[in-house]
Amino acid sequence: MVQKILAHWEFEYSPDLKTAYELQEQLTDIFDEPISKSIAETNIRDWMERVSASGVKCFEAFIKTLNRLWEPITNYFII
């Protein structure tokens, strides 16, 4: 309960923090889905576009790593 109240307060005063949290949750949801590699690649690319459009900078290093290690990371979805 206290965490929810604090998170709400933090998000109210930091819209970028709220956006970053929501984007992180969206990426986690992609990796939690039992989907094919091709669908995952599309979903991750869409997510990367949303990150870019959001203007938050905290994912820049992660996206560079994601691009550099695209194949090994997306191979996670091979069923």
Identify whether the C-beta of residue 51 lies closer than 8 Å to the C-beta of residue 24: no
Amino acid at 75: N
Model pTM score? 0.83
To the nearest 10°, report the CA torsion of 15, 20, 24, 25: 0
Q: What is the pLDDT of residues 11-46, one digit of tens each?
A: 677 888 889 999 999 999 999 999 999 999 999 999
- The angle at the Cα of 56, spanning 64 to 17, to the nearest 5 degrees, equals 125
Domain boundaries, the chain: 2-77
Spatial neighbors of 36 by CB under 8 A, at least 6 apart, are 77, 79
Residue 3 has what pLDDT? 55
Amino acid at 15: P
Please say if the pLDDT value at position 74 is more than 90.
yes
